[in-house]
A and B are shown apart, each in its own frame.
Chain A
Amino acid sequence: MKIRSTGEAGKYEKAGEKLTAVLDETEKVIVGQQEIVKNILASILCDGNVLLESKPGLGKTKMTRTVAQILDLDFSRIQNTPDLMPSDITGTQIINENNDGKQFEFQKGPIFANMVLADEINRATPKTQAALLEAMEEKQVTAGNNSYELEKPFFVIATQNPLDQEGTYPLPEAQTDRFLMKLKLDYPSEEDEEKIVERFTEELEYSPNLKSILSKPSIIKLQEFTRQVPIADDIRQRAVKIVNATRQNQDLEFGGSPRASMSLVLSAKARALIEGRSYVSSTDIDKMAKPVLRHRIGLSFQAEKKGLTTDNVIEEILEDL
């Protein structure tokens, strides 16, 4: 007896191939950091946002801009400062003088893009942060009496500098929970750094011809595909167990919320799709545990005193389960 496969899987396979092509295209500009790029792509597929913690000069803007270009997304960058007002992000009403006379017109802010890089979000005041986070959550902006829908897909990468904490307004836990992932961009290896130096010092402006692999509608379609990726019951249970374990861990002041469990499963699905798999593996759950949970859990005073990090605690939980 021969069992024939149907052509339905063809579409799914094609999606996986496209995502692999996106990663390959990113490598034309970005050296190394494949895991970070993969996680950013996973966030886009989950329709989530990323909090990127990175020291200066590691190529956050370059990376985000490159991904936006490959995905054919409108890109904008917001440099957060303490004097940045919410209207500087969302937009403001201006008086427009034309043949009909003077009229108030809404001038869209930089938030009206598909991919927004909010640099050093912790330098903005809580009021401005709240405006940005509201836009992230609601996918719409309210100015005056009017609400303006943000164009889909909408995706925010907010960055934080872990070194310079003076004069910053750290994001409250309730607001960090709204980010799907917190990624830590670390220094590249020596070998990768050599390549970076070589690549960006030989030309005045290194700008390879990047192809747009995906379009906006296809990204939305991929977001639907991501939610359809099948997951085994026991693997879903493992995700819930991991999050539940963060609530009972002695080293943690508070653990992940049910939103954390949802985010973990969804990110694992996205990762499976990127990897070209039609099912979620337990490895996907484990790989996504740190990016999804590290900003949703809080270390206890004793754990901080011991020098533990949230990543250490997550590793311990994964080993125990």
Chain B
Amino acid sequence: MRVEKLLTRLKREFIKVNILQACLDTIIFFLTSNLILFLFSLQLVSGTSNIKSLTILSTVFFLFNITYRTKNYRLEIYEEKNPELKEVLRTARDNVKKSNIASQALFDELIKRSRSVTSESIIPSKKIVKKSIAVGILSLITVTSGIVNFNITENGGEILPEIDRLEEIVQGENGGEFELNNDTDIFGEPRDMNNTGTPVEFNITGEGESSEAEPSINTDEQEEMFVDNSNPDEVEDIELAKKYMIEIRELE
């Protein structure tokens, strides 16, 4: 029972360390994103301030980070970080159901030795230092950006401009409130097609003679066949052409 309590305590220590790590990661994520958006004069979501958008994103990032880290909890992590505890922890875990003097002595020893297991002993100190330095540098640059304008581009635009339109579509005229209509509301009442009308009877019959002789067409008629009177210029030309033809006949 006491050993189980100890194992719970170890897990709590582990979570403490991971919260610290996740916090640092989130701060780095926030500051870096903010700096990039500033440098390229970008707006993450149009109509929403970058700080607001980044805060939401960072919160999501933090939650994912802490969930992922906590899921990876194993007793072996302590063994790796505290080699002096490795065999004691493993032996205690394998003999947790035994209750003789020797095993009690083991559990007592484990509890005694585990008191030295604090958050510090399982912190990857080098990583933490590096991350802290990164946070410091990013904070400094962020502060400087408020004093000196060193944007790379002046008009970077928006990363997610469609959001506005989407909002309009989604919000509609009711300022964010919209209702889902059914097909009747959209297309009206359905109408049934009436197909019970009287059937129309029609018969195609015709008369005519076919002659082998070429139809006699006089010149005027012939000319008219080729004349399209739709264009007035062409009509003038034809009239002129007629005059020329008459003149040529008279000459002949």
Contact = CB atoms under 8 A, between A and B. Distances in A.
Contacts of B102: 12, 225, 228-230, 278
Interface stretch (B39-47, B90-98, B192-200): B90-98
B101 A6 contact: no
Contact of A279 (B2, B6, B88, B101): B88
Interface in B1-56: 2, 5-6, 9
Given A8-B101, A232-B87, A278 B106 contact: yes
A234 interface: yes
A12 B9 contact: no
A13 B2 CA distance: 19
Contact of A3 (B9, B93, B98, B109): B9
Interface in A29-71: none
* Max chain B Cβ within 10 angstroms of own Cβ: one of A3, A232, A280, A282: A3
A174 interface: no
Interface residues of B, number: 25
A279 B5 contact: no
B170 interface: no
Interface residues of A, number: 25
Contacts of A232: 87, 90-91, 93-95
Given A6-B104, A9-B104, A1 B5 contact: yes
Contacts, number: 79
B151 interface: no
B223 to A, nearest CB: 115
B130 interface: no
Nearest to B103: A230
B108 A230 contact: no
Contacts of B9: 1, 3
**DSSP majority for the B interface?**
helix
Nearest to A225: B102
A11 interface: yes
A4 B109 CA distance: 11
* Max chain A Cβ within 10 angstroms of own Cβ: one of B5, B87, B102, B108: B102
Contact of A235 (B5, B87, B92, B100): B87
B112 interface: yes
Nearest to A231: B91
Nearest to A11: B101
Nearest to A13: B105
Contact of A230 (B6, B98, B112): B98
Contact of B106 (A1, A225, A233, A279): A279
B94 to A, nearest CB: 5
A5 interface: yes
B111 interface: yes
Nearest to A273: B102
A281 interface: yes
Given A1-B5, A1-B9, A8 B106 contact: no
Interface in B95-145: 95, 98, 100-109, 111-112
A173 to B, nearest CB: 34
Nearest to A2: B115
Contacts of A11: 101, 105
A279 B103 CA distance: 8
B106 A6 contact: no
Contacts of B109: 9, 277-279
A305 B179 CA distance: 95
B100 to A, nearest CB: 5
Contacts of A280: 87, 91
Nearest to A12: B105
A258 B119 CA distance: 44
A172 B176 CA distance: 96
A318 to B, nearest CB: 17
Contacts of B100: 228
A233 B109 CA distance: 19
13 contacts: A1-B9, A6-B108, A9-B107, A11-B101, A228-B103, A230-B98, A230-B103, A231-B91, A232-B95, A235-B91, A278-B106, A278-B108, A282-B87
Interface of A: 1, 3-6, 8-9, 11-13, 225, 228-235, 277-282
Closest 8 CB pairs of A and B: A12-B105, A8-B104, A228-B102, A9-B105, A9-B108, A5-B108, A279-B91, A230-B95
